[in-house]
Amino acid sequence: MCIPLFAHAAFSEVQFLNLMECKIQEWVNQIAEGVPAELLGTLQYFSSILNRHSQQLKDSSHALYKLAEWNPEVLNGQTQIRISLPRPGVGTRWNTPEFGSVRHTGSRGSFTAQGLLYDYEQLHDRCISLSKLALEA
């Protein structure tokens, strides 16, 4: 099963969304303080990037679900993989509540397809929220 690839992509997406959230908040604050409106175009561009990511997350969820359909015990949580998680506080923010998370189920570092499907749904929702935030600026 390709679960490690999907898990890696989810971690990468969390990091990407953390970066986008920081930049959007920074620019929204600058606009509120009266900094030039050129940032509005950048925020619209970010919104379109986030919309593309949203569609890619949706497509990835669909692909993971199709892969799991071929092997039903994967969705039931009977098949797990091990991933070495980075130590907390070493340049990662994915595990803090304010930035969302890719959760793991079972023992430390074990992921299931069902858990990843849930994570992708959460990432998709977060992506849409950030896109709306960028447009509302």
The predicted structure's pLDDT at residue 99 = 43
Residue among 24, 38, 113 at smallest CA distance from 76: 113
N residues, the chain: 137
User: For residue 110, what pLDDT is reported?
Assistant: 45
The pLDDT score that the predictor gives to residue 35 is: 67
Q: Quick check: 137 pLDDT over 90? A: no
Separation CA 4–CA 83 (nearest Å): 7
Q: At residue 105, does pLDDT exceed 60?
A: no
Tokens of 23: 């930049």
pLDDT digits (tens, 9 = 90+) for 69-103: 887 665 555 544 443 434 443 333 444 444 444 44
The phi and psi torsions of 126 (rounded to 5 degrees) equal: -65, -40
Mean pLDDT, to the nearest integer, of 24-39? 81
What confidence score (pLDDT) does residue 28 get? 85
Question: Token digits for 130?
Answer: 């950030």
- Looking at residue 110, what DSSP letter applies? E
Q: Which helix (H) or strand (E) holds 49?
A: helix 38-70
Q: Is 127 exposed, middle or buried (0-12, 13-18, 19+ CB in 10 A)?
A: buried
